[in-house]
Amino acid sequence: MNSNKMTLVAVFNLLVIFGASRTAAQARGWGATTSAAAAASQRGDYTLAQTLYKQAIEIQVKTLGADNPEVAITLNNLAVSYQDQSKYAQAEQAYRQALAILEKDPRQKVATGFTLNNLAALFHEQDMDAEAESLYTRALTIWGKLAPKQSANEAITATGLAGIYHSRNQDADSKPLYLQALAIWNQQGKSESAEAAEAMFHIGEIYRSESNNAAAGPMFAHALTIWENAGQVENTEAITAQATLGEIYRASGKYAEAEALLEQALKATEQKLGPDHLEVAASLNNLALLYYCESKYDAAEPLYKKALEIREKNLGLDDPAVHQTMQYYAALLRQEGRQPEARSLEAEAARTGVPHF
């Protein structure tokens, strides 16, 4: 998800249209042009939007001067339009021009923070996380000095920076930022927002990596409730949350709850990726293990067979994941009293040195 950048863009557009200070005489020359450009950008007509933003900048420079903050705001929105088209070089140039203007005026902290965030998002999209990290950190400093008025912006910036740390497995740094953002949204009555759900999901991932299932479970469950209420249960993170929460419930013996989640995750994964994808094999394996724990051997066996078939097809006979599936399937066969079949599978799996279960 790219919600951090899009939220900032939306808020920033509102600032452009409604929040900028100007006299009526100044606004007449370029206000209508920037409004038309924003409308064109919102409906996806980026070429027109860029033309209009450039026209507005020309008028603003003549009317207000090249270093006026209004020029910077329009440059920011021109950059957003470029960024939406993945025209990264043009977007970076416009963002930097905007920052050069804004940073000359100490009164423009809010606009500076927005532009820093958008430029950070631009770098993050290009996997330039070192540059993005520096910009997010600068923006956080700004929001901290302006709090509590700008606390919503602080939450958005915090999750952007947290995402970078999380992608590097620096969860000691990412977790407090996600929790900081979540606390802000809770205070503002936005605990059921899409941004909050995404933060909860990542906090759940971090707790899960710490083997803290007691803390991870409620995070995944709350995020899923938000996505369900918004009709977004088929997004990738929601499917992952279903599968992970199902595994947590299975491990704690909550088989009924786990079964519903793992069945939903399997169905959604098949619909999203196709029946022969490796992620489908993982979902089949997880549901089969649950059925095994419930002694539903007849239900588990076809799932193990299908998971084994997918993994053999995609990975080859000698892959450890293939042989691990064989071991699970062999354990099931033994429970059913089918010893010769179990021994055959175990012998095949032993070729990779995978220990028997």
For 94-111, the pLDDT digits (tens) are 999 999 999 999 999 999
Higher pLDDT, 5 or 203: 203
- Residue 28 pLDDT exceeds 70: no
Q: Averaging pLDDT over each range in 13-22, 34-43, 285-294, which range is the top one?
A: 285-294
In a domain, 170, yes or no: no
Mean pLDDT of the chain: 89
The burial of 218, by beta-carbon neighbours within 10 Å (0-12 exposed, 13-18 middle, 19 or more buried), is given as middle
DSSP symbols for 154-193: HHHHHHHHHHHHHHTT-HHHHHHHHHHHHHHHHHTT-TTS
Cα distance between residue 152 and residue 281, in whole Å? 41
In a domain, 175, yes or no: no
At 24 the pLDDT is 54
In a domain, 208, yes or no: no
In a domain, 274, yes or no: no
In a domain, 44, yes or no: yes
In a domain, 245, yes or no: no
CATH number of the domain within which 39 lies: 1.25.40.10
Q: Tally the domains of the chain.
A: 1
Confidence of residue 342 (pLDDT cuts 50, 70, 90): confident
Confidence of residue 211 (pLDDT cuts 50, 70, 90): very high
In a domain, 82, yes or no: yes
> Domain range holding 100?
1-107
Residues 45-93 have pLDDT tens digits of 999 999 999 999 999 999 899 999 999 999 999 999 999 999 999 999 9
Alpha-helical (H) ranges within 16-108 are 24-42, 46-64, 69-84, 88-102
In a domain, 51, yes or no: yes
